Structure 1
């Protein structure tokens, strides 16, 4: 039996979409502080594998390497928030970091431990909210839309349910790992990525479209994921420094300066629009790591520093490959020179590579095919032609295995 009475018709309304971005707080450094809790509250720098590990003397007194005693040309992998307050950030040359924070403790990286804690925190999140997009060793997106209770009001707070679910996720991560994380929850991935940074460390930020004007628009344009140094500089030349100023800009002007696709995206991003879904699984075409330098580097005068940066990128890339279970037969490099001229080179091998040493050796071979006539502002490394790691480790000569047989004059630039 049906009724024509409109009062009896209850339309089906799709629930508000809630997407969370979870970012572990100073992840590598925080894992190390679990091992050395006596260092909590101090400036601590993680600086590759070459740093001396802490040790105790016969009296039980701990001894640590300090930045002021460092004499190599390494780069900072990460740092605690206390070190960041002194100006020390990831990808910074360790010698420069020593000038800014000479008394900071320097610890070696332990990537196996970081991978273990990464698995632990993601498993803890999955028990609460299983729809997860893995974005790296220390960050994930989570679709909370269908999690029970997320749309409930709590008392006079209409967003109390989503806050409660996000708090439950944070508590689960801490119980499983002893570590803190920051979570941003909004209707989409773009806003959630920004929100997770707003109240770090140990933050929980829930925003709706109504909060964009007060919480997002006052931020600098670089806070939007997808606006890099080059685009930000160009926007600055146009007098656009904040997200709000970008939102107020005529879309036609943005398209004129940045092209139809990116210009339209800039306008949409400034207004917080993003319809991308949380992707739970996809087969990557390639996996890459890159970093933009604080200053342009000279291929000869800054050779040692560039070498250390490349070492670190290859180490991080090897961690990514191992975590995702891949190896690759193609290794490529990306170089951006002053003037924003970008050069790429790649090389394919009969056997897939996976370790940091193999990737580093292959990247070095690619570097030999580049003319370094200008200063560098960006360096990246990529592994493509991916295969499952378990099926790839065949007894075939790799670029790393050939190193000993190659004449000294043919070794890579840095």
Structure 2
């Protein structure tokens, strides 16, 4: 019987690493990616005062990612840039460039597929791969029973580096749950491989919160119950776990702690929706900043349209998400007479969905979302859908 081998490949500090390809003089420096600050012209050295620094940032932006030297200073993705500035004031601040990141994402995935064709796409910088039937994966050597799959994983790492110039970390185990955990054990540029028999030695000493699916609230609840490590979770009575977390989650916690996971690598997943959103550098007023909001709505609709085109999909429903300055969120959506992936059409119907919103409160975020997705091949060509009446942005 073949040994099942599942790999989780995670690009190392992906956005930051892509930016360092463009600015190699910043290698080894604390660099934060986030916001939209202008960059200096030319190729200034890393210590040049021309680079924007975190200490000079003012706004509500958050960190998209950071280099490992920046992380060592305590900053991390999702942290507010102004809060990060207190920890790493001299860190260099670079703007995000999602078009460039998506380009490199396509490059590394295409390279991997040449070696391991069974791939589950989990986002811009991570994938699962079923290596079980990859030629050579079941081979062994006198001093390494898993030499074959280890060599395949090394080939994957080399292919990614040759295609992109970037490093990745790979975890290889018998299932997705363990491989996700393993890929984070030896970052950056790591390769971690172990079998189910090694779970007690490799996995049980780790904090329970390291299991993908145990979020901060669940981890805190486990700590309150005296469970700190995965090993302690594995030793807990399933009935006791069910009593505290419910039968379904309790059983999952017990299985996860023992490294049990039978989920297959899914090569195609029908998306239920797509969305793009942006947080403003300053609060915008629906009336006073109508032109700026209109331009942002157009850009978001065009980005969603481009995402649909890449996936060869069309959408039947389009809507807008708004977050007010007090963090209250409102959403509005409309179902169009015919599915479309046309950017201007999505923009017009998105604007139309906002006719009844509150116009007297400032906004901090806007997003465009499409639902009711289907293959573009199933929809006959037709003129773009027009909104008959002339409508303002809001």
- TM-score by length of structure 1 reads 0.74
2:143 is aligned to 156
Cα distance, 1:288 vs. partner? 6.8
Asked if structure 1 preserves the Cα contact closer than 8 Å seen for 2:308 and 2:341, the reply is no
- Show CA shifts across 1:335-360 (max 9, x none): 9xxxxxxx9966334276898x969x
Which piece of structure 1 moves more, 389-398 or 275-284?
389-398
1:248 is aligned to 235
Asked if structure 2 preserves the Cα contact closer than 8 Å seen for 1:352 and 1:393, the reply is no
Counterparts of 1:61-76 in structure 2, within 5 Å, are: 63-76=50-63
1:39 is aligned to 26
Cα distance, 1:192 vs. partner? 0.3
The one of 30, 34, 37 equivalent to 1:51 is 37
CA distance in 1, matches of 2:43, 2:244: 63
Extract unaligned runs of 5+ from structure 1. Answer: 1-13, 291-302, 306-310, 336-342, 370-378, 407-414
2:123 is aligned to 136
1:223 is aligned to 210
Cα distance, 1:405 vs. partner? 4.0
CA distance in 2, matches of 1:182, 1:247: 27
Cα distance, 1:70 vs. partner? 1.1
CA distance in 2, matches of 1:66, 1:89: 16
Aligned length: 352
Q: For 2:184, what is the secondary structure of its paired residue? A: helix
1:205 is aligned to 192
- Would you say 1:24 and 2:11 are equivalent positions? yes
Q: For 1:185, what is the secondary structure of its paired residue? A: strand
Q: For 1:32, what is the secondary structure of its paired residue? A: helix
1:109 is aligned to 96
Which piece of structure 1 moves more, 217-226 or 54-63?
54-63
- Would you say 1:182 and 2:169 are equivalent positions? yes
Cα distance, 1:230 vs. partner? 2.1
CA distance in 1, matches of 2:38, 2:257: 46
1:100 is aligned to 87
CA distance in 2, matches of 1:21, 1:181: 10
Asked if structure 1 preserves the Cα contact closer than 8 Å seen for 2:25 and 2:45, the reply is no
CA distance in 1, matches of 2:127, 2:66: 21
1:348 is aligned to 334
Extract unaligned runs of 5+ from structure 2. Answer: 285-295, 324-328, 359-365
- TM-score by length of structure 2 reads 0.78
Q: What is the RMSD of the two structures over their aligned residues, measured on CA atoms?
A: 3.8
